């Protein structure tokens, strides 16, 4: 692992030149962190971790997010299957009606993003026109949100990740920011053996936290390098001393095949 902190090594990993290695970047945003701790995602909810795999569907708040429409036409969902192996699947949007269910079942939902759009998009005219929710099939619990606030960014923003089966993860950077008029405490949690769904469960544990964050703050890379085993859930949360704090978190992981 001595090469992990070397920039050229990480560039080679990003290029796909290092067998069995992969870089993962996760970032999330919550625009309404108040005085009760909440996870960092655009849904502004504490995520309810799935204990069994489920099919998914997507739905928009705008009728034009549909095949042949001027908004999002197809989206991609990435996550893990029931065995915690990496999977992905594309869905064709149906506007304000739910899409068909995914053919695969997901135990974890890492991200979703717009793949094709009816608009040649730019900052002033995004690739989707409505807020797109990814949820469990048959109008089940919300999992992720591709938001239009403050603009249509085309991808979900949820600062959580689960180490896939057959991989070990190493945390190589962690940054969080809070709008300058607010103060927040930011937490980074883990729970190992996420596939153990019978009591007694593995307990959640804090990896680290930073009190009184305002503006941007990063952890020194040399102070990171925590090791996370396969099937470990990782997530972030925050609590503010006031209301309506905007909190953003990003972190990167180096995944290595076991």
Q: Give the model's confidence band at 4: pLDDT under 50 very low, under 70 low, under 90 confident, else very high.
A: very low
* Helices and strands, number each (H, E), in the chain: 1, 16
How confident is the model over 118-141, as pLDDT tens digits?
999 999 899 999 999 999 999 999
pLDDT at 212 (0 to 100):
84
How confident is the model over 150-164, as pLDDT tens digits?
999 999 999 999 999
How confident is the model over 32-74, as pLDDT tens digits?
999 999 999 999 999 999 999 999 999 999 999 999 999 999 9
Domains of the chain from N-terminus onward: 7-47+159-257 (2.60.120), 56-146 (no CATH)
How confident is the model over 162-211, as pLDDT tens digits?
999 999 999 999 999 998 789 999 999 999 999 999 999 999 999 998 88
Q: Is 156 in contact with 42 (CB distance < 8 Å)?
A: yes
Evaluate the omega torsion of the peptide bond into residue 239 and state whether it is cis, within 30 degrees of 0: no
What tokens were used for 90?
Answer: 């594309």
CA atoms within 13 A on the CB side of 209: 13
pTM of this structure: 0.94
First to last CA, the chain: 14
Residues listed for the chain: 258
């Amino acid at each position: 692992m001595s090469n992990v902190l070397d920039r050229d090594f990480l560039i080679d990993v990003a290029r796909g030149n290092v067998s069995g290695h992969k870089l993962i970047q996760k970032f999330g945003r919550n625009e309404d962190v108040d005085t009760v701790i909440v996870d960092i995602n655009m849904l502004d909810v504490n995520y309810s971790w799935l204990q069994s795999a489920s099919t998914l569907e997507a739905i928009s708040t705008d009728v034009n997010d549909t095949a042949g429409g001027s908004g999002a036409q197809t989206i991609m969902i990435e996550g893990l299957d029931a065995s915690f192996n990496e999977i992905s699947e594309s869905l064709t949007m149906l506007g304000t009606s739910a899409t068909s269910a995914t053919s695969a079942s997901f135990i974890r939902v890492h991200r979703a993003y717009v793949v094709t759009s009816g608009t040649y998009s730019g900052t002033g005219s995004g690739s989707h026109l409505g807020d797109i929710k990814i949820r469990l099939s048959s109008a089940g619990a919300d999992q992720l949100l591709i938001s239009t606030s403050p603009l249509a960014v085309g991808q979900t923003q949820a600062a959580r990740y689960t180490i896939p089966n057959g991989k070990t993860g190493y945390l190589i950077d962690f940054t969080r920011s809070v709008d300058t008029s607010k103060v927040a405490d930011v937490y980074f949690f883990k729970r190992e053996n996420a596939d153990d769904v019978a009591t007694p469960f593995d307990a959640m544990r804090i990896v680290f936290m930073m009190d009184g964050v305002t503006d941007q703050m990063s952890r020194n890379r040399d102070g990171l390098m925590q090791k996370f085993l396969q099937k470990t859930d990782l997530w972030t949360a925050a609590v503010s001393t006031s209301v309506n704090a905007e909190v953003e978190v990003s972190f990167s992981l180096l995944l290595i095949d076991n």
